[in-house]
């Protein structure tokens, strides 16, 4: 017998759960890509995208995944031989660094390890000694380690060092999950993709850029035609928005997702992610009291609210992932960048994705399923993990004073 038949839950750190509302919006006849509803819809989405990124400036949309957005961003501001400094807290920083090398940049990497944030003081000292970089690259949240970097503090370090190049941030994992303030934090270029906090299937890449970045682009001798953000951010006619045919159905999905984001509010979305993530931490802390399970990042202040990386020791990580998927319909993420694939240690890590369309019952269900798996596989663990998560959810919900007897909002919701 298996207990997995029912609605599956893909709890990997991207792609994330796609809301039915987004799927339904995509279930539509092909729209005209030259005039009419689609053209009007895209024009209306641009200001909303800026709001999600907390910027008043430009955005270019690409038919691409996150890797495409990485390359798009770099291609607009780097020429072969330009120097780039990458601040690394995990595998995704190295991935972006490789893309920078691919467009001809000379890349230096400052490594901060897999358990610590980027240290602004070290960045400042490095730049004081050698500040001749066209761009500094940082991942806001590195999805492999689940470390969240303080991008505002990095900006202050760059300013303190008198650095006058660009600051570029990868928010592919974090946008619409973890608080991010592009303009207030002084970020020049930010990249994102559709399939994580934005709740749309993979296929749209976003590059947000500041007036300073636009000036750097304007001085470039040459930018590859497809990645050039100028016609996309400021198109003379609709076809230029996407460097060719628009990704019609992804855009319909994005329209629905932006509606959902506007209805909930970005601050409320960040708060929901933070609370649900605290429930996960509470469960893991209890399980970890006895046994091998632990969070990758010890300090809660350094952890993402979009993804959680865990260590449990080989072969338990893989065994647990396989059990919860096979027996209960929950898919957890593989560990990334902690041990080389093929190495037996690789089986000792896993990750939980909790980005986008997730709520309390999904998180509690997922945690209850993990607890069941720990028990079934006889993996040593402390008691009370699920109850600890339940406490977090209980304490965060509407307080009794807000629930008037005999009223009202609830009745209205159910009966009208």
Ligand X SMILES: *Cc1c(COP(=O)(O)O)cnc(C)c1O
Residue positions forming the annotated binding site for substrate:
351
Q: Which is nearer to ligand X, 185 or 287 (CB)?
A: 185
For residue 159, give every residue at least 6 positions away whose Cβ sits within 8 Å of its Cβ, in sequence order, or none: 186
Q: Is 204 helix (H, G, I), strand (E, B) or coil?
A: strand
- Record the tokens describing residue 306, joined without a space: 């979009």
Region 69-98 residues binding ligand X, contact defined as CB under 6 A: 92
By CB under 6 A, is residue 202 in contact with ligand X?
A: yes
Write the Ramachandran bin of 171: left for phi over 0, alpha for psi from -120 to 50, otherwise beta. alpha
By CB under 6 A, is residue 50 in contact with ligand X?
A: no
Tell me phi and psi for residue 284, to 5 degrees.
-65, -40
Sign of CA dihedral 27, 29, 32, 36: negative
Q: Summarize the annotated binding site as residue ranges.
A: 351
Q: Which is nearer to ligand X, 14 or 247 (CB)?
A: 14
> Minimum CB separation from ligand X for residue 66, in Å?
2
Q: Which is nearer to ligand X, 65 or 257 (CB)?
A: 65
> Minimum CB separation from ligand X for residue 168, in Å?
12
Give the integer Cα–Cα distance in Å for 183 and 153. 13
Q: How many CB atoms lie within 10 A of CB 399?
A: 8
By CB under 6 A, is residue 139 in contact with ligand X?
A: yes
- Record the tokens describing residue 159, joined without a space: 């300013």
Contact mark string toward ligand X, 53..72, x via CB under 6 A? ------------xxx-----
> Minimum CB separation from ligand X for residue 228, in Å?
20
Q: Which stretch binds ligand X (CB under 6 A): 121-129, 136-144, 210-218, 262-270?
A: 136-144
Contact mark string toward ligand X, 3..42, x via CB under 6 A? -----------x----------------------------
> Minimum CB separation from ligand X for residue 75, in Å?
15
Give the integer Cα–Cα distance in Å for 167 and 83. 13
By CB under 6 A, is residue 353 in contact with ligand X?
A: no
With contact defined as beta carbons under 8 Å apart, do 320 and 374 qualify? yes
> Minimum CB separation from ligand X for residue 57, in Å?
21
CA 391 → CA 205, 234, 275, 397, 406, distances in Å?
Answer: 38, 49, 11, 10, 26
Strand blocks (E) in 249-379: 294-295, 307-311, 330-334, 349-353
Q: Which is nearer to ligand X, 196 or 381 (CB)?
A: 196
By CB under 6 A, is residue 254 in contact with ligand X?
A: no
> Minimum CB separation from ligand X for residue 142, in Å?
6
Region 140-179 residues binding ligand X, contact defined as CB under 6 A: 141-143, 170, 172-173
Q: Looking at the chain, how many residues does it have?
A: 416
- Contact residues: ligand X, CB under 6 A: 14, 65-67, 92, 139, 141-143, 170, 172-173, 193, 202
């Amino acid at each position: 017998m298996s207990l997995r038949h029912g609605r599956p839950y893909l709890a990997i750190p991207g792609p994330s759960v796609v809301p039915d509302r987004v799927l339904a919006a995509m279930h539509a006849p092909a729209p005209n890509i030259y005039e009419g509803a689609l053209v009007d819809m895209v024009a209306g989405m641009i200001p909303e995208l800026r709001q999600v990124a907390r910027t008043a400036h430009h955005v270019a949309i690409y038919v691409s995944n996150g890797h495409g957005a990485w390359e798009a961003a770099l291609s607009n501001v780097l020429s072969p031989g330009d120097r780039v400094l990458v601040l690394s807290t995990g595998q995704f920083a190295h991935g972006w660094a490789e893309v920078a090398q691919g467009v001809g940049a000379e890349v230096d990497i400052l490594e901060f390890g897999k358990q610590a944030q980027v240290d602004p003081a070290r960045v400042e000292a490095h730049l004081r000694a050698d500040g001749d970089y066209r761009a500094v690259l940082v991942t806001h949240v590195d999805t492999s380690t689940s470390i969240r970097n303080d991008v505002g503090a990095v900006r202050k370090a760059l300013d303190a060092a008198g650095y006058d190049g660009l600051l570029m941030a990868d928010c592919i994992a974090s946008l619409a999950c973890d608080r991010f303030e592009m303009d207030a934090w002084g970020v020049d270029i930010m990249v994102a993709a559709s399939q994580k906090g934005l709740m749309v299937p993979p296929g749209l890449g976003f590059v947000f850029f500041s007036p300073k970045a636009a000036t750097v682009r304007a001085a470039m001798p040459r930018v590859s035609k497809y990645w050039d953000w100028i016609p996309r951010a400021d198109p003379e006619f609709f076809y230029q928005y996407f460097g060719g045919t628009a990704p019609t159905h992804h855009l319909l999905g994005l329209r629905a997702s932006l509606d959902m984001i506007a209805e909930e509010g970005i601050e409320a979305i960040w708060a929901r992610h933070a609370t649900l993530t605290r429930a996960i931490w509470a469960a893991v802390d209890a399980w970890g009291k006895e046994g091998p399970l632990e969070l990758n990042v010890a300090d809660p202040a350094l952890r993402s609210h979009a993804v959680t990386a865990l260590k449990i020791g080989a072969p338990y990580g893989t065994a647990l992932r396989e059990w919860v998927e096979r027996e209960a319909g929950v898919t957890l993420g593989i560990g990334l960048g902690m041990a080389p694939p093929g190495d037996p240690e690789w089986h000792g890590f896993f990750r939980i994705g909790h980005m986008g369309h997730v709520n309390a019952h999904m998180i509690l269900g997922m945690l209850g399923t993990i607890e069941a798996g720990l028990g079934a596989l006889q993996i040593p663990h402390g008691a009370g993990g699920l109850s600890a998560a339940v406490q977090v959810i209980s304490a965060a919900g509407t307080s009794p004073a807000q629930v008037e007897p005999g009223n009202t909002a609830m009745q209205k919701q159910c009966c009208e």
